[in-house]
Amino acid sequence: MLPPLNLYNTLTHSKEAFIPRNPDQIWMYSCGPTVYSTPSIGNYRAFFTADLIRNTLANLYDYPVKSIMNITDVWHLTSDGDTWEDKLEKWAKKDWITAREVASKYEKQFLDGLAQLNIDKFDVMPRATDHISQQQVIVQALIDKWYTYIIDWDGIYMDTSRVEDYGELMWPNYKKRLENLNAGERVNFTWKKNATDFALWKFSPDDKVWEKRQMERDFPPYGMWFPGRHIECSAMSSEYLGQHFDIHHGWADHITIHHPNEIAQSESAFDIHHPDRRVRYRLHNEFLQVNGGKMSKSLWNVYTLSDLEDKGFSPLDLRFFFFMAHYRTQQNFTREALKQAQTTRNNIQKKLSNYSYPLDQHIDRSSPLFIALTNSLADDLNTPKMLSTLNSSLSNLDQSTLSTIYRFEKNILKVWLFDSISLLWQNDIPQSIIDLANQRLAAKKDKNFALADQIRTQIWEQGFTITDTPDWFEITLD
């Protein structure tokens, strides 16, 4: 029996045992990337967290998980006071290509990055621009239910004073905080009724016909429009997961605007009234800092995966580095810290490669190591604790310990800790074949694919088949 999985729920501002709506189907949604530039390593910390949540649920707790991560292929205004400029279109103009081409280019980079970090694709990865009609349906429902008002020449706004418990995600004492916020807002001149009201959609300016937006749509009787920045997540999550699901995950900066607004528009449009909730568990990961400060384009300290590779690091060193901090703490990225992650990972690989007996496919869930590793993840995904437990187990390796580590490596860590042929499941493969397989692995790492293919043929000729697995390979007797 596994311990209950405790997760910090931003909605209740406390750690809670995870209880699925239906244990036969766990549904989770993660807010994904806006594809207008190469993802930074900070962006990947969020995708890594989504992967960690999913793998813990699916591979450790054995729940059937359906996971969604959206792809935002239209730039949204970062605030209601923003200019009309669409960054995707700005980039497109610069390079003489369409916004669609910009989005495709960076979507591919994002997906390649996931693969390099051993993050499996999410079950559905929908694009915002493919779900415009679903966004319109939700906005129309909100208009019909009198949750909205129009600001001329600007857009259709959500009246947050009509929303049940608006702001609860932001602060435990949200009612008082909202009063203060609105009192402060009255000092400033604004057409909005409440400080927290937000645009569901914005009208396209008629007078700027020569700057027609590539992603705008006609929506009679309101004319040309483009969506506000929150509505797409309501549309895509309900399209694939329905009106209720289990987990919604995003970044810490979604706690103040994006997610309260997503909750407000979804629960209002779908007539969900408290204590019933659209989503019971709201999870948020903290930022990645660089050298103790904010990562920002204006500070020239935004690193990408290829920047790290140029400095001699593998994307899996970064993956290992992410495990070294709890997802709800700000993790400080420095070159030294990444170097330390790389060294630790290499040391574990070396240690594990010294053992040459075949692994037990059976997993002993009652072994002290399995229990200790599970307990650390059950405690709000405490990955630093999991790593230190794993590290101390290395001083006392036996077959059961190795099998447990292998299982966590394969299902959760995925950082190629078992980088050695000595740990094959089968023990009836001749040493000469194992040696060839090792040579082939080395050739593949050197990107000498011709040699790798040649060795594969050599192995095949001797009656064995070598099959590549995502993190390893298997040899079978034909």
Binding footprint of Zn ion on the chain (CB under 5 A): 31, 233
Query: CB 169 → Zn ion: shortest distance, Å?
Result: 13
Query: CB 207 → Zn ion: shortest distance, Å?
Result: 31
C-alpha to C-alpha distance for 136 and 267, rounded to whole angstroms: 16
Q: What is the DSSP letter of 34?
A: B
Q: Which residue has the tokens 């001329």?
A: 152
Query: CB 285 → Zn ion: shortest distance, Å?
Result: 13
Q: What is the DSSP letter of 252?
A: G
Query: CB 258 → Zn ion: shortest distance, Å?
Result: 6
C-alpha to C-alpha distance for 95 and 103, rounded to whole angstroms: 13
Query: CB 89 → Zn ion: shortest distance, Å?
Result: 21
By three-state DSSP, how is residue 478 classified?
Answer: coil
Of 233 and 405, CB closest to Zn ion: 233
Of 66 and 76, CB closest to Zn ion: 76
Let me know: does 245 contact 279? Beta carbons within 8 Å: yes
Of 278 and 319, CB closest to Zn ion: 278
Query: CB 239 → Zn ion: shortest distance, Å?
Result: 13
Query: CB 250 → Zn ion: shortest distance, Å?
Result: 6
Mention every residue, 6+ apart, whose C-beta is less than 8 A from residue 103.
35, 36, 73, 74, 88, 127, 129
Of 86 and 262, CB closest to Zn ion: 262
Of 30 and 383, CB closest to Zn ion: 30
Count of residues for the chain?
478
Of 240 and 320, CB closest to Zn ion: 240
Of 31 and 99, CB closest to Zn ion: 31
Query: CB 126 → Zn ion: shortest distance, Å?
Result: 12
Of 253 and 435, CB closest to Zn ion: 253
C-alpha to C-alpha distance for 202 and 192, rounded to whole angstroms: 14
Tokens of 206: 């008629």
Say how far residue 326 (Cα) sits from the centre of its chain.
Answer: 15
Tell whether the torsion through CA atoms of 190, 193, 199 and 201 is positive or negative: negative
Tokens of 233: 């997540």
If you write DSSP's letter for every residue of 75-134 in order, what string do you get?
Answer: PPPSSTT--S--HHHHHHHHHTS-HHHHHHHHHHHHHHHHHHTT-PPPSB--BGGGGHHH
Query: CB 101 → Zn ion: shortest distance, Å?
Result: 24
Burial 149-187 (b: 16+ CB within 10 A, else e): eebeeebbbbbbebbeebbbbbeeebeeebeeeeeebee
Of 31 and 50, CB closest to Zn ion: 31
C-alpha to C-alpha distance for 442 and 436, rounded to whole angstroms: 10
